[in-house]
Structure 1
Amino acid sequence: MDRIALSNSAFEGDNNAYLFADGRETVMIDTGDGMASTREQLEAAFADRGLTFADVDRIFLTHWHGDHTGLAGAIQAESGAEVHVHEADAPLVAGDEDAWEAMFDRQQAYFEEWGMPEEKQAVLRDRMASADTATETPTVTPFEDGDTFSFDGGDLEVVHTSGHAAGLSMFETTLDGRREVFSGDALLPVYTPNVGGADVRVEKPLEKYLRALQRIVDADYDRAWPGHRDPIDDPAGRAQHIIDHHEERAWRVLDALDRKGPCDTWTVSADLFGDLESIHILHGPGESYAHLEHLERAGTVVREDDEYRLADGVAEVIASKEDERWHLEY
């Protein structure tokens, strides 16, 4: 297995594409985005190994985001490769117009609900319109949690880890006798994947992501191969760190409501993240909403129309610091 780092201007760092080319079949996990420069990098990496896109037999995609799927259609056009993706993300990857229209409609509804200013909405729409760099749309074959694919004496087992994206999936395998996982954006070595904004289709996004993280902790993999940057040698420890990070962020959300009184999601986001630009205009309020929604269901926060306030008695808990952390049920 080879890890191929492909340029990405986003804050997560270089994208990873993973290539299995030592047996009868040539298999990829993720493809990078569809930019011409990325295609040149991937073609050069293939040429170094005596391969072309026409040699690819199967592609497994961790989720629908363009920086992971952008070249899938182009590779399939040259090779006829099967492109596999979770059933929840399959319509988006396949370019289903109804699925994309429903996504855009839901985003717009959230922008209004969150209290996103119109000028920020305009900036965000321009950013999202320029984000789709795929030149060709693939035909896809859906999979679901627990499905196992075999090739060249090895297996990839699907581990569905919804949160960052509805269909986000990892692929568990054994490499050199070690239990390892291709974690996509479910587990990254530096940044915490956005929840709430990165895929507005996900219901209860924080709850689902915390469950996914706990699943990684319980699995105790020997190593994770993420969608961005370098391998993770302690996946369980990294997953637990992100769980702790979200508990700390919950405290910050509660503190913001305590200081500001009833307010909308955009106001909480501004308190947490400051002034936002580019794609962060989506991610900041999205993550704030994910926390507010989670705390509302826990009974810690009360929603009235599009504003949130602390539930009765919570301000006293914050003031007394009786608990060192607000425990999030998942």
Structure 2
Amino acid sequence: MERLSLSNAAFEGDNNAYLFADGSETALIDTGDWMAATRRQLEAALSEHDLTPADIDRIFLTHWHHDHCGLAGEIQAESGAEVYVHAADAALVADDEDAWNEMYDRQQRYFEEWGMPEDERAVLIDLMTDAETTVETPTVTSFEDGETFTVNGTDLEVVHTSGHAAGLCMFEAEMDGERQVFSGDALLPVYTPNVGGADVRVDRPLEKYLRALQGIVDAEYDRAWPGHREPIDDPAARAQYIIDHHEERSWRVLDALDRLGPCDTWTVSADLFGDLEDIHILHGPGESYAHLEHLEREGTVVRDGTEYRLADGVAAELDDIEGERWPLEY
């Protein structure tokens, strides 16, 4: 297996695609985005193994986001490669019009519920419209959690890690005598993956993501190969760090409601993140919503229309908590 680093203008850092070419077939985990520069980088990396995109037999996608699946259709058109993705993301990768319309409609409902101002909403809609591009659409084969694929003698077991995206999956493998995992955007070495905004189809996004992270902690993998940047040598520690990060963020959400009184999601987001630009106009309130929704189900926060407030007695309880975390249940 070889990690192929592919450029990406997004804040997460360069994308990774993973090449399996040490046997009778050639396979990729993720492809990078659809940009011409990414295509050239992929071709250059493949050429070092005397390969071209036409030699790819199978593609395994971690999720539907375009920076991970953008070249899947082009490669399939040239090689006939089979493209695999979790069933929850299959329709989006296959560019199903009904699935995309459902996504857009849900985004619009959330923008309204979150209290996103019209100006910021217009900026975000323009950004998402500009990001739309004509790419080769692949025919996909869907899989489910727990399925196993064998690539040149290496078993890749699907581990569904919904949260950042509905169909986000990792691929667990035994390699070089170690338990390793291709973690996609479930576990990144620098940034904490967005929940709530990155895929508005996910119900209970924070709960699902925290469970996925706890699964990574419990698995005690020896190494993680993420969707962006460098490998992670202690995946359990990184996953625990992100769990702790979300506990601290929940404390900050409660503190904001304590100081500001009843307010909507956009107001909480502004208190947490300040002024937002570009895609963060979606990610900031999305993450705030994920925490507010989770705290509401815990009974710590009460929702009234589009506004949230602390439940009775919580303000006094906050004063008794030492440190800067709220004990999240999941």
TM-score (norm 1): 0.99
Q: Secondary structure at the match of 2:116?
A: coil
Q: Deviations over 1:157-197 (max 9, x none)?
A: 00000000000000000111111000000000000000000
Quote the Cα distance in structure 1 between the aligned partners of 2:143 and 2:99: 18
Equivalence for 1:195: 195
1:130 aligns with 2:130: yes
Quote the Cα distance in structure 1 between the aligned partners of 2:134 and 2:30: 13
In structure 2, give the amino acid aligned to 1:112: E
Q: What pairs up with 1:132-281 in 2 under 5 angstroms? A: 132-133=132-133, 135-281=135-281
Quote the Cα distance in structure 2 between the aligned partners of 1:133 and 1:42: 19
Equivalence for 1:120: 120
Conserved? CA contact 1:2–1:18, under 8 Å: yes
Q: Secondary structure at the match of 1:116?
A: coil
TM-score (norm 2): 0.99
Q: Which runs of 4+ in 1 moved over 6 A?
A: none
Quote the Cα distance in structure 2 between the aligned partners of 1:86 and 1:317: 42
Relative to structure 1, the CA distance from residue 225 to residue 134 in structure 2 (aligned partners, 3 Å threshold; closer, same or farther) is farther
In structure 2, give the amino acid aligned to 1:131: A
Please state how far the C-alpha of 1:134 moved relative to its aligned partner: 5.6
Conserved? CA contact 1:89–1:166, under 8 Å: yes
Deviating more after overlay: 42-51 vs 129-138: 129-138
Equivalence for 1:93: 93
Deviating more after overlay: 77-86 vs 316-325: 316-325
Question: Percent identity of the aligned residues?
Answer: 78
Equivalence for 1:84: 84
Quote the Cα distance in structure 1 between the aligned partners of 2:290 and 2:317: 22
Superposed CA RMSD: 1.0
Q: Deviations over 1:268-302 (max 9, x none)?
A: 00000000010000000000000000000000000
1:307 aligns with 2:307: yes
Q: Secondary structure at the match of 1:89?
A: helix
Please state how far the C-alpha of 1:321 moved relative to its aligned partner: 2.7
Conserved? CA contact 2:155–2:173, under 8 Å: yes
Quote the Cα distance in structure 1 between the aligned partners of 2:54 and 2:324: 56
Please state how far the C-alpha of 1:324 moved relative to its aligned partner: 5.8
Q: Structure 2 stretches of 5 or more lacking a match?
A: none
Quote the Cα distance in structure 1 between the aligned partners of 2:179 and 2:320: 45
Q: Deviations over 1:38-95 (max 9, x none)?
A: 1111111111221001100000000000000000000000000000000000000000
Q: Structure 1 stretches of 5 or more lacking a match?
A: none
Q: Secondary structure at the match of 1:312?
A: coil
Equivalence for 1:104: 104
Equivalenced residue count is 330
